[in-house]
Amino acid sequence: MLCVNPSFTSLLPSPLGKPRLIFPSNSRNPISCTLPGTVAEPKLTAAAEPLLLNAVRGLDVERPPVWLMRQAGRYMKSYQTICEKHPSFRERSENVDLVVEISLQPWKVFKPDGVILFSDILTPLSGMNIPFDIVKGKGPVIFDPIHSAAQVDQVTEFIPQGSVPYVGEALTILRKEVDNKAAVLGFVGAPFTLASYVVEGGSSKHFSKIKRLAFSQPKVLHSLLQKFTTSMARYIQYQADNGAQAVQIFDSWATELSPVDFEEFSLPYLKQIVDTVKKTHPELPLILYASGSGGLLERLALTGVDVVSLDWTVDMADGRRRLGPNITVQGNVDPGVLFGSKEIITDRIHDTVRKAGRGKHILNLGHGIVVGTPEENVAHFFEVAKGIRY
């Protein structure tokens, strides 16, 4: 077996005559390994498609695609400059030109394999007659938290074309700008997570209000969850129709539920979204992320999504084993590692990729990039990740 690096060439034994996954420990140049008589680089299948889509579909890829949650955000100096000129998050996320500019900032610097729309999971709320704002230093604020059936009745049907036309326009522009060199990603909030925000009135530590509603007035909560389910399925379809090549569903707060309650208040609604979208967009990859989901992994797989994104508290090898071979995994480097040395970042990337195995893996963090993360460390993450070869 021949292994080649620009700095050296060596012959290494390989068990069973098969290529091994090998990473250089102290070199920025990837090692490529081949059997005698074959070319050094693995052959790409369906090269015209973005690498991320090929990986999700289980096609032959040369390396795991990489993008990072919150790759566009406050750790970037260029984003901070925009914030100085446009201090309102709502303005930054609802103005087409700003959405496109911010979404493309990491693309221009790092060239990730996924370019995700700059937006917020709460963006649809105004179009559902749920007034809100996102306040600097405080986060989401729901002006009239929902706690009764009468209030749920006032929640209106979400029509993306009329309520958030800037989302469709931005996605269309992003597709043209990225030009299929990466996958353009959309995203939505999951029903239970959205319900948590509008019932709690914003972020929460104990989720006592949403749980009080769940256990004292379950019919009211189910009615609200169904409205969000219908609306988010429509929102995903709208994003796909306007350029999104994959869509991530964030169920950030579902892991506050016990497994039995997850099966009642989250799982059936997630499954309904997936089933609805797959009827009209069968080839659209759907990614599901739920922070702290180690106790629910097998249940996440039951939703029917194509990709389950793991947080960093789950060992990647265990996650792969528990989810089975048919689901692509995403993640799951601890975002805190990006505060460490380049050697530690490199080690964690290699460990994650090695445990995920070849194919059907999207390299990412186990959560979004943390504010204050050194931008040069994010650059190093992408450099190392894009230098890997299976």
The pTM of this model reads 0.88
pLDDT tens-digit map of 332-354: 999 999 999 999 999 999 999 99
Is residue 335, in this structure, part of any structural domain at all?
yes
Whole-number pLDDT of residue 47: 53
Number of domains forming the structure of the chain? 1
Whole-number pLDDT of residue 285: 98
Is residue 225, in this structure, part of any structural domain at all?
yes
Is residue 3, in this structure, part of any structural domain at all?
no
- Tell me how far apart the alpha carbons of residues 342 and 132 are, in angstroms, rounded to a whole number: 40
Is residue 101, in this structure, part of any structural domain at all?
yes
Is residue 228, in this structure, part of any structural domain at all?
yes
Whole-number pLDDT of residue 6: 40
Whether residue 42 has pLDDT greater than 70: no
Is residue 4, in this structure, part of any structural domain at all?
no
What range defines the domain where residue 137 resides?
A: 58-387
Whether residue 9 has pLDDT greater than 90: no
- In the predicted model, what is the mean pLDDT of residues 152-171? 97
7 or 69, greater pLDDT:
69
Q: Report phi then psi at 153, rounded to 5.
A: -60, -25
Whether residue 39 has pLDDT greater than 50: no
Share of residues in the chain with pLDDT > 70 (%)? 88
pLDDT tens-digit map of 239-252: 999 999 999 999 99
Confidence bin at 138 (pLDDT 50/70/90): confident
Return the closest-CA partner of residue 78 out of 57, 46, 107. 107
Whether residue 19 has pLDDT greater than 80: no
What is the average pLDDT value for the chain, to the nearest integer?
Answer: 90
Is residue 21, in this structure, part of any structural domain at all?
no
CATH of residue 128's domain is 3.20.20.210
pLDDT tens-digit map of 290-331: 999 999 999 999 999 999 999 999 999 999 999 998 999 999
pLDDT tens-digit map of 163-180: 999 999 999 999 999 999
Is residue 74, in this structure, part of any structural domain at all?
yes
